[in-house]
Chains A and B, each alone.
Chain A
Amino acid sequence: MKILVCISKTPDTTAKIAFTDSNTKFDTNGVQWIINPSDEWYALVRAVELKEKDPSTVLHLISVGQADTDPIIRKALALGGDEAIRVNADSHDSFYIASQIAAVAKEGGYDLVFTGKETIDYNGSSIGGMVAELLDQPYIALATKFELNGVQASISREIEGGEEVAEVTLPLVLSASKGLAEQRIPNMKGIMGARTKPLKVVEPVAVDTLTTISSFGLPPAKAGVKLVDADNVDELVRLLHEEAKAI
């Protein structure tokens, strides 16, 4: 069994969001970087669990980014995985990134490719689906449970209005949502071991991007809260009805 987990570097969830260069670039000044939460908490941890159950499993991590991504990759390796591959490129176009991952996945012949359900920076929810199409494999988006029986996977996923269980024969690509696994904290052995695990750097394949970011902006700030006395709930209802016209 060979598993590839896609890891993205994202700003910390508490990071202040600001832009530079006439609002065309994200201001990375003072930003702390983390592993994208759904990549780490759900996709990676579930893959690590599968390897713990079957130690013959080969588990590789992949990230598309420049050298400043390496600390994030080492952090991910501290949770598990045999080695990591970094595609030495930087792009905000999901098709470009997915094409890089698909090229590595094709060459490596993986049975499973896991991604998180979305990154918390560009919120595209696109990489998994694009990789699946480029590999011509089934894609299960928003998976909340994953069980493996030989080459047969049983997967629960979010669908409109509920959840369903599907059976799919490997190989496949999935995007991981809450429920797939529980967040883990890396232990000292993992952190020490991660330092010496192989981190291969490969150059990107030539791909045209499909989109560009023209500009960024911040939503207008709220005017300020109107406080209503706890003993005067009728007043809140009046405001919501007459002023906000929300009820």
Chain B
Amino acid sequence: MSVLIFIDHAEEQIKKASLEAISYGVKIAQQTGTTAEGIVLGNLTDDLAVLGKYGVQKIHHAADANLDHLDAQQYTAAIAQLAQSINADVIVFSNNTTGKAIAPRLSAKLKAGLVSGAVALPDTTNGFTVKKNVFSGKAFANITITTPVKIIALSPNAYKIEEVGGSTELVTYTPTLAASKVKVISSTKASGEIPLAEAEIVVSGGRGLKGPENWGIVEDLAKVLHAGLACSRPVADAHWRPHNEHVGQTGGAIAPNLYIAIGISGAIQHLAGVNRSKVIVVINKDAEAPFFKAADYGIVGDAFEVVPKLTAAINKLKGA
């Protein structure tokens, strides 16, 4: 019996979403009275021993160059072998791009029920039930996993990272792998400096900004807030901004602490992707924009005047 946490890394570093998955998995282990172990695939420069402070007791590291690139088939095989050998009954992923590629495969391989996009700890009072968002954030569902082994893919920004203290034992793990059928030719880093799904603050622009040449004020605001950049669907469709910045029902779903929407009317499809944000600020010159109904704070005004003032005011606050 144990909880196995898949610890993802990008650019050879452990990212925030993985720390959230670790804290979440460690909490489940505490709740169910078992140990929390981690698995890391591929080479990385980050020191894995420091992860002990988050409460993970053992980390199995397969520093195999064949695992440096994501091949869902190989990753699944590697995780399944370990899960079976340590008798893991709960396996935790982050529901990030890597988790989305592997967790369903593992679910089918192990015949282990999967809840993807979990937003809370499992309720184990009567079975094993996990809350997740459905209808793109317009509702939630409590899903009961009915199999002995359970897989949870945790929504980014849904669980707080906790340092509980402790140390971790690092062990070398050597899975048996078939030759990879996926050959990675090249990779490029996303344009934004802060990954959107992980950003605590997101600044988002819509058609109200009139054209891509006007994004400077949005970027300036994002910069002072160390925020991620997002946009509405019409903006991405018009190629004003890259597709990976599109948030909404058919784009990405995000749940930052603070979401600032500039020149976005707030169609129901857009709201679906952002309504899990803790605080929503809307800046729009149209007082009738539906977004104001879903907002916590709002300014009815011209974005081209308000946004630079807001940037200056935040700069002043940060300087104080």
Contacts and interface: CB of A to CB of B under 8 A. Distances in A.
Contacts of B301: 230
Given A139-B73, A227-B299, 16 more contacts: A41-B250, A126-B103, A142-B97, A158-B97, A159-B10, A161-B189, A161-B190, A178-B246, A215-B141, A216-B141, A225-B295, A237-B314, A239-B297, A244-B279, A246-B279, A247-B317
B157 interface: no
Interface in A99-133: 117, 120-130, 132-133
A129 to B, nearest CB: 3
Contacts of A212: 143-144, 146
Contacts of B246: 178
A112 to B, nearest CB: 14
A171 to B, nearest CB: 10
B204 to A, nearest CB: 15
A236 B281 contact: yes
Interface of A: 11, 13-14, 17, 19, 37-38, 41, 94-95, 98, 117, 120-130, 132-134, 136-142, 144, 154, 158-169, 172, 175, 177-179, 208-219, 222-223, 225-230, 233-234, 236-237, 239-241, 244, 246-247
B104 A125 contact: yes
Contact of A164 (B100, B186, B306): B186
With a 10 A CB-CB cut-off, give which of B182, B201, B280 has the most chain A CB atoms. B182
B223 to A, nearest CB: 13
Interface string B248-268: 011101000110000000001
Contacts of A95: 107-108, 111, 113-114
Contact of B111 (A94, A121, A210, A246): A210
Given A215-B142, A237-B310, A132 B279 contact: no
A163 B268 CA distance: 29
Nearest to A10: B135
B109 to A, nearest CB: 5
B104 A128 contact: yes
Contacts of A213: 141-144
Nearest to A234: B313
25 contacts: A13-B268, A98-B104, A120-B272, A123-B253, A125-B104, A129-B101, A130-B104, A133-B104, A139-B101, A160-B10, A162-B189, A164-B186, A166-B69, A167-B183, A168-B182, A178-B246, A210-B107, A210-B146, A211-B144, A218-B138, A227-B298, A228-B299, A230-B300, A244-B296, A247-B201
Given A213-B142, A246-B258, A141 B296 contact: no
Interface string B70-104: 11110010000000000000000001111011111
B80 to A, nearest CB: 10
Contacts of A124: 104, 114, 116-117
Contacts of A217: 139-142
Interface size class of B (residues with CB under 8 A): 35 or more
A163 B189 CA distance: 6
A210 B298 contact: no
B41 interface: no
Contacts of A140: 72, 101, 182
A182 to B, nearest CB: 9
Contacts of A133: 73, 76, 104-106, 108-109
A159 B258 contact: no
Question: Does more than half of chain A's interface fall in helix, strand or loop, or is it mixed?
Answer: mixed
Contacts of A17: 135, 138-139
Nearest to B280: A222
Contacts of B295: 222, 225
Contacts of B70: 159
A11 B135 contact: yes
A211 B71 contact: no
A120 B136 contact: yes
A225 B138 contact: no
B185 interface: yes
Given A168-B183, A214-B129, A225-B297, A141 B97 contact: yes
A207 B311 CA distance: 56
B281 A165 contact: no
B282 interface: yes
B313 A241 contact: no
A233 B108 contact: no
B104 A158 contact: no
B210 interface: no
A160 B195 contact: yes
A161 to B, nearest CB: 4
A120 B302 contact: no
A37 B305 CA distance: 36
B168 to A, nearest CB: 22
Contacts of B23: none
Contacts of A175: 100
Given A98-B108, A133-B109, A228-B299, A144 B243 contact: yes
